Amino acid sequence: MREHAVLLSEKVLDGSPAVREKLYAMTGDKDMRVRYQLAFTLGKIPGPRATAAMGAIIARNVNYGWIRLAVLSSSLGRTGELFAILADDRKYRSTDDGRKFLEQLAEQTGLQNRKDQVAEVLKMLNTFPDKEISKKAAELLGGVKLARREEIVAAYNDVLDMKGDRDRGKAVFKKECSTCHMLENVGFDLGLPLGSIKNRGPETILISTLDPNREVQPQYLNYVCVTDDGLSVTGMIAAESATSITLTRAEGESDTVLRTNIDELANSGMSIMPEGLEKQLSKNDMADLIEYLMSVQ
Ligand code: HEC
């Protein structure tokens, strides 16, 4: 009942401070399903009060993987603030799961690379008493990987001055991209339309293709789910219910797993769009691909 009440409240959140207050007061609800739903709902409310409430849910549910996951998936744009709140909680950061989650938050912050959130983590690290966490977080935040991605984009920059060939570009698209994107009726539509990407220009295409994790929305994160039988499935979360979860991936393949069969579910912090496409794409291929994507009607 209360679980549904939380869900229903989403419809009136914007207009009703009273409803928001009620939600902030529910972080200690005795029913785990209520806390789980609340974690998602709080993600829809901007501002520090909701972030603090997310922190409270996490701190009280140190050992619950699902709840951590729920909070993580609704924490886009505030991972740094959440890191600061939880890192400040001595009891929380002294638990193994707490440390692990702090590392995850630092890593997400690095991947999402939003200046304000990175600043929150850095500010905290400067004054942080626990040197081990602080060193690890700084490493994760440093985003060694991001830097390398930026170098690759820079190395491909001259592609923007090259003249591509539309037909060859179409073939490149079919080979490398059509497992997840559909254009001119070729490929699998995973819900990521590229038909209007031309309006954002060749440079956006170049960056999105070579550095897919620069700005990734939570719904595109790649999850790994290990079942009780030891099987593992991966993909973006396409659907969730109280009893099951559906992961979908390239070529439109998908699996539905019952929650009771899930041993572990975690996201990699990365988009399902793979990094490293430059290994398959020469500069000529890239120029052809851009020509094609810019020409699609
Ligand atoms: C395994 C699946 C997969 C493959 C293969 C893939 N993509 Fe993507 N692509 C995604 C996902 C998921 C997103 C959205 C999240 C993101 O930006 O990472 C995306 C986003 C994009 C975007 C940004 C769209 C926007 O509106 O911001 C562009 C451009 C793009 N892809 C181009 C390509 C090109 C070009 C290729 C082939 C060279 C390719 N993709 C291959 C899954 C894939």
pLDDT of residue 145: 46
Nearest CA to 281 out of 157, 156, 111 is that of: 156
Helix spans in 127-251 (H) = 131-142, 144-155, 166-176, 201-210
**Which atom from ligand 1 is nearest to the alpha carbon of 204?**
29
The response to whether residue 61 sits with its C-beta less than 6 Å from ligand 1 reads no
Q: For residue 181, give the nearest of 251, 87, 281 by alpha carbon.
A: 251
Out of 130-139, 223-232, 252-261, give the one with best mean pLDDT: 252-261
Using the predicted structure, report yes or no on whether residue 181 has a pLDDT greater than 90. Answer: yes
The phi and psi torsions of 77 (rounded to 5 degrees) equal 85, -5
CA 280 – CA 293 distance, rounded (Å): 17
Distance CA(73)–CA(236), nearest Å, equals 12
Cα of 209 to ligand 1 centre, how many Å? 6
In Å, how far are 18, 26, 29, 109, 211 from 272, measured between CA atoms?
A: 39, 34, 34, 18, 12
Residue 271 has pLDDT above 90, yes or no: no
Q: Which residue has the tokens 């972080």?
A: 27
Backbone φ and ψ of 183, nearest 5° = -140, 140
- Note the pLDDT of residue 63: 78
Amino acid at 267: N
Answer whether 111 contacts ligand 1 (Cβ < 6 A): no
CATH class of 218-271: mainly beta
pLDDT surpasses 70 at 2: yes
Share of residues in the chain with pLDDT > 70 (%)? 91
For helices 17-24 and 2-9, angle between their N-to-C axes, nearest 10 degrees: 140
**Ligand 1 mean position, distance from CA 221 (Å):** 12
Please write the tens of the pLDDT for every residue from 196-245. Answer: 999 999 999 999 999 988 888 888 888 878 788 877 788 999 998 888 99
CA distance 274 to 224: 15
In what helix (H) or strand (E) does residue 193 lie, and over which residues does it extend? none
Tell me which of 24-33, 41-50, 140-149 is least confident: 140-149
Helix (H, G, I), strand (E, B) or coil at 234: strand
Dihedral angle at the C-alpha atoms of 12, 114, 271, 225, nearest 10 degrees? -70
Indicate whether residue 289 lines ligand 1 (CB < 6 A).
Answer: yes
Report how far ligand 1's centroid is from the alpha carbon of 192 (Å).
7
Four-point Cα dihedral 216, 78, 268, 249, nearest 10: -40
Mutate to test the pocket of ligand 1, among 173, 180, 211, 223 (most ligand atoms within 8 A of CB): 180
Residue 110 in this model has a pLDDT that exceeds 80: no
Question: Is the CB of 103 within 6 Å of ligand 1?
Answer: no
| CA distances in angstroms from 50 to 27, 83, 114, listed in the order given | 10, 14, 19
Best of 168, 248, 273 for a ligand 1 pocket test (most atoms within 8 Å of beta carbon): 273
- Tally Cβ neighbours within 10 Å of residue 238: 17
Centroid of ligand 1 to alpha carbon of 176 (angstroms)? 10
Contact 286 CB / ligand 1 (< 6 Å):
no
Using a 6 Å cutoff on CB, does residue 237 contact ligand 1? no
Indicate the domain borders of the chain: 2-143, 148-214+275-295, 218-271
**Amino acid (one-letter) located at 106:** A
pLDDT of residue 268: 65
More confident residue, 78 or 1: 78
Does the Cβ of 235 fall within 6 Å of ligand 1?
Answer: no
